[in-house]
């Protein structure tokens, strides 16, 4: 049995997230179907993480196991055929063989998400950014974001009733930047909880719009109670931007 990694990206607008669900159109299902057809053998991909309905991925990795041994040239041809078969909202960038101990979900050392807010109504960013009008205190939000690097328990920003055993995460980067009319939040951590980024962004925006103070933001985080935090921002502005694996793992 051989293991292959797939590097891809996708626009999540038309999908109910990554993970296969009954009676729902998902990225994983579309890829399983395409690989099974082209390789003429059942293929089930394992993704590097779960993304919710409408969330996008600038960089995503998945792996599958197969009895067929493909050389690099055959992997390139398979990637080309996959791109011919798949719809335009999923792109395969590379397929390559790895050792069987390398796991797309459990081997990463960090993941980076970007949340994109547009301050100007833009028809070309519909379903790709969250439109938000009004004054926002970016320095205060950045002060709170930087403080998140000292936090380890993110229960206040986790979806309730998940199957995770711990809500401990190590955030190494969290900051807001202005890119023209866009306001972008970038956060990197060793792992993320379900709904964590969207809940953090929603609570930071409460701070940036004066609904809460920095002191209240810190207390909300410390209380470990999701009902105390802000609303989750819309999924359309969220992007999985980078998945980092240990050096030389491939």
Report, as residue numbers or ranges, the catalytic residues: 52
Spatial CB neighbours of 171, under 8 Å, sequence gap ≥ 6 = 148, 149, 151, 187, 188, 189
What b/e sequence results for 112-129 when a residue is b if at least 16 CB atoms lie within 10 Å of its CB, and e otherwise? bbbbbbbbeeeeebeebb
Residue with tokens 């969250």: 130
Task: State the Cα–Cα distance between residues 46 and 104, nearest whole angstrom.
Answer: 7
CA-to-CA separations, 229 to 48, 96, 155, in angstroms, rounded: 27, 42, 10
Retrieve residue 115's tokens.
Answer: 């949340």
Task: State the Cα–Cα distance between residues 27 and 17, nearest whole angstrom.
Answer: 7
């Amino acid at each position: 049995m051989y293991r292959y990694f797939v590097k891809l990206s996708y626009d999540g607008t038309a999908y109910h997230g990554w993970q296969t669900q009954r009676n729902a159109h998902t990225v994983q299902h579309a890829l399983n179907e395409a690989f099974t057809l082209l390789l003429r053998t059942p293929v089930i991909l394992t993704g590097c993480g779960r993304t919710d309905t409408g969330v996008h991925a600038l960089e995503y990795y998945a792996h599958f196991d197969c009895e067929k041994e493909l050389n690099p040239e055959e992997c390139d041809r398979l990637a080309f055929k996959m791109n011919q078969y798949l719809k335009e909202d999923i792109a395969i960038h590379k397929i390559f063989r790895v050792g069987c101990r390398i796991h797309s979900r459990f081997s990463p050392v960090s993941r980076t998400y970007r949340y994109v807010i547009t301050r100007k109504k833009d028809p070309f960013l519909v379903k790709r950014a969250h439109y938000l009008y009004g004054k926002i205190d970016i320095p205060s939000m950045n002060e709170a974001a930087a403080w998140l690097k000292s936090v380890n328990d993110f229960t206040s920003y986790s979806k309730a009733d998940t199957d995770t055993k711990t809500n401990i995460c190590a955030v190494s980067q969290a900051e807001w930047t202005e890119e023209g009319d866009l306001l972008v939040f970038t956060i990197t951590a060793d792992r993320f909880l379900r709904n964590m980024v969207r809940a953090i962004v929603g609570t930071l925006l409460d701070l940036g719009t004066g609904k809460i103070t920095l002191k209240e933001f810190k207390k909300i985080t410390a209380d470990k109670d999701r009902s105390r935090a802000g609303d989750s921002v819309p999924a359309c502005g969220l992007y999985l931007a980078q998945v980092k694996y240990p050096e030389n793992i491939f």
